[in-house]
Structure 1
Amino acid sequence: MSIVRIGLDLAKQVFHVHGVNEREQPELRKKLNRGQVLDFFARLEPSLVGIEACGSAHYWARELQKFGHEVRLMAPQFVAPYRKDQKNDDNDAEAICEAVGRPNMRFVPVKSAEQQAILTLHRVRAQLIEERTSVGNQIRGLLNEYGLVLPKSIPRLRRDLPAVLEDAENGLPDLARDTIADLAERLGELEERIKRYDKRIERLADDSGTASRLMQVEGIGPVTATALVATVGDARYFKNGRQFAAWLGLVPRQFSTGGKPRHGRITKRGDRYLRTLLVHGARTALCQLSRLNTAKAQWAQGVRQRRGFNKATIALAAKQARILWALMAREADYEPAKG
């Protein structure tokens, strides 16, 4: 009897496989070394393969698809309820095999190598920004030990720091002055590297028709647009814009029972990086919309007056997510009057 569904538990070196036949009876339990995985699946008849969405999952999904297998990725938290016993590799593979066959399971789109390359660019840029923030905080903290207080923002720090280092009468010891000068040089190098990454992202956005359409929306720039295109891929994978916003964690958390709906803070599920970009973009858009007279602007200002700036920002970010889904799924241009 042939195998119709397989659960593959990934690891760095040792992989576990669990397969079932048409009668849902276990037909395959196997442990594979990394070098054996592709040869093993190449010999199998095409089947449905489930994998947890974790490190290297997209790579293995692409490789198995080359052999004709239908590969579906699932978030680990959706697989855990199907694990019947203690956590180990065999039970994990069995749980994956069970979960991938559920008709109501939600799956993660498989990313192409090009999508992952764009996200690699974003991840390195984000790390450089964190490092720049860290160096700036260190400079301010060290200068504060000598009674020298500088502003928090990076642009003002760059502007005011040279005068502090050149002032020989401010009580800063020469050793500390030289050390902080080295940090200032490092800060400048980080700034230049971030600018180079920004230019590369701008070129990617200009070359992508989808990203160009997304940038028509208020508060959406090249960074957010390219991150959305690379992360989401085919937006039609989501049923509607609300499901997309829920995937990003921008909808209220529910705790409802007995017919009494209770809504709390946003769930913050999904991609943290995308959600952060959308929230920052919504904060900028909220200021821009205050000068417009569209239906979207009136709605945003109404929420701001009733609930305050921060809650209005989150509400606008959720609305922006639904609009962006429509632009990607329908390949349409943004019409501000209808936003």
Structure 2
Amino acid sequence: MAVSTAATRGLTHDHIRRALGEISDSNKYAFGDIFIDMLRDMRDELAELDSRLVGYNRRIKTLFRSNEMCQRISRIEGVGPITATALVAAIGDKSCFKNGRQFAAWLGLVPKQHSSGGKARLFGISKRGDRYLRTLLIHGARAVLSRAAGKTDARSQWIGRMRERRHPNVVAVALANKNARIIWSPLSKDQEYRPAHEVSFS
């Protein structure tokens, strides 16, 4: 039986697990033994992956709680334990970057530029650097956007102005860029994060 792409988009991992369990343990479906055995193997593999993920998440939380640098940058809205530990683990030699803009460029979060006739034009982000870290920061930025409505702080007001004229995805990337530049300050200078000293949101 063919399943349309649109119908599968709404499926979650929980839906898939339940379906695998129901089909592989039920006699009401006229499937062959080989197919049922394959479904059971898939169900068992998913269960094993779930168990491993629980273990990895536990280790990440332990590392996050014990690392001062992770604690420091997690105070920035849009940066959770997974993003914080991944950034601290990936950066290594902090002297590789002169400033937050270079760090954001390394993550691929700065606009590409093209000059023609003396005019500089901005295009989409460069997408260079670490795709995983960039994705974490953009997901974190989207979470911030979802909670910004009605707030009066400088960041939320900046988000509101951006939303009036730009697509939500563009706003999320712009916020991820600013967060990367903000993150770089406490990482590079071993200082506490101070919201009052954020990159300008004007």
TM range (shorter): 0.7 to 0.9
**Contact (CA 8 Å) 2:20, 2:39: kept in 1 or not?**
no
For residues 323 and 155 of structure 1, do their structure 2 counterparts lie closer, same or farther at Cα, with a shift above 3 Å needed? farther
**Contact (CA 8 Å) 1:254, 1:262: kept in 2 or not?**
yes
In angstroms, what is the RMSD of aligned CA positions? 2.4
**Contact (CA 8 Å) 1:295, 1:338: kept in 2 or not?**
no
**For residue 334 of structure 1, what is the aligned residue in structure 2?**
193
Residue 170 of structure 2 aligns with an amino acid whose one-letter code is K
Is residue 223 from structure 1 mapped to residue 69 from structure 2 by the alignment?
A: no
For residues 290 and 227 of structure 1, do their structure 2 counterparts lie closer, same or farther at Cα, with a shift above 3 Å needed? same
Is residue 250 from structure 1 mapped to residue 109 from structure 2 by the alignment?
A: yes
Residue 209 of structure 1 aligns with an amino acid whose one-letter code is E
**For residue 180 of structure 1, what is the aligned residue in structure 2?**
39
Residue 44 of structure 2 aligns with an amino acid whose one-letter code is E
For residues 204 and 306 of structure 1, do their structure 2 counterparts lie closer, same or farther at Cα, with a shift above 3 Å needed? same
**Contact (CA 8 Å) 2:23, 2:36: kept in 1 or not?**
no
Say which of 297, 316, 334 aligns to 2:175. 316
Higher helix proportion, which one? 2
Tell me the percent identity. 43
For 1:234 and 1:263, locate their aligned partners in 2 and report how far apart those are by CA, in whole Å: 30
**For residue 274 of structure 1, what is the aligned residue in structure 2?**
133
**For residue 97 of structure 1, what is the aligned residue in structure 2?**
none
Kindly provide the CA deviation profile for residues 119-167 of structure 1, in whole angstroms up to 9, marking residues without a partner as x.
Answer: xxxxxxxxxxxxxxxxxxxxxxxxx5599x7653213322443233334
For residues 302 and 165 of structure 1, do their structure 2 counterparts lie closer, same or farther at Cα, with a shift above 3 Å needed? farther
For 2:169 and 2:155, locate their aligned partners in 1 and report how far apart those are by CA, in whole Å: 17
**For residue 121 of structure 2, what is the aligned residue in structure 1?**
262
- 1:168 is paired with a residue whose SS is coil
The TM-score normalised by the length of structure 1 is 0.52
For 1:253 and 1:146, locate their aligned partners in 2 and report how far apart those are by CA, in whole Å: 40
Query: Which structure has the bigger radius of gyration?
Result: 1
Matches within 5 A, 1:16-165: 151-165=10-24
**For residue 202 of structure 1, what is the aligned residue in structure 2?**
61
Structure 1 residue 277: deviation in Å? 1.7
Higher strand proportion, which one? 1
For 2:152 and 2:196, locate their aligned partners in 1 and report how far apart those are by CA, in whole Å: 9
**Contact (CA 8 Å) 1:164, 1:170: kept in 2 or not?**
yes
How many residue pairs match? The answer is 195
Structure number with greater CO (CA < 8 Å, separation at least 6) is: 2
For 1:230 and 1:146, locate their aligned partners in 2 and report how far apart those are by CA, in whole Å: 41
**For residue 233 of structure 1, what is the aligned residue in structure 2?**
92
For 1:155 and 1:211, locate their aligned partners in 2 and report how far apart those are by CA, in whole Å: 31
**For residue 293 of structure 1, what is the aligned residue in structure 2?**
152
**For residue 166 of structure 2, what is the aligned residue in structure 1?**
307
For 2:191 and 2:22, locate their aligned partners in 1 and report how far apart those are by CA, in whole Å: 51
Residue 170 of structure 1 aligns with an amino acid whose one-letter code is Y
Residue 54 of structure 2 aligns with an amino acid whose one-letter code is K
Residue 76 of structure 2 aligns with an amino acid whose one-letter code is V
Structure 1 residue 337: deviation in Å? 5.8
Identify the range of structure 1 (157-166 vs 261-270) with the bigger mean alpha-carbon deviation. Answer: 157-166
| Unaligned stretches of 5+ residues in structure 2 | none
**For residue 211 of structure 1, what is the aligned residue in structure 2?**
70
For residues 327 and 320 of structure 1, do their structure 2 counterparts lie closer, same or farther at Cα, with a shift above 3 Å needed? same
Kindly provide the CA deviation profile for residues 250-298 of structure 1, in whole angstroms up to 9, marking residues without a partner as x.
Answer: 1111111332011111111122222122122222222133363321112
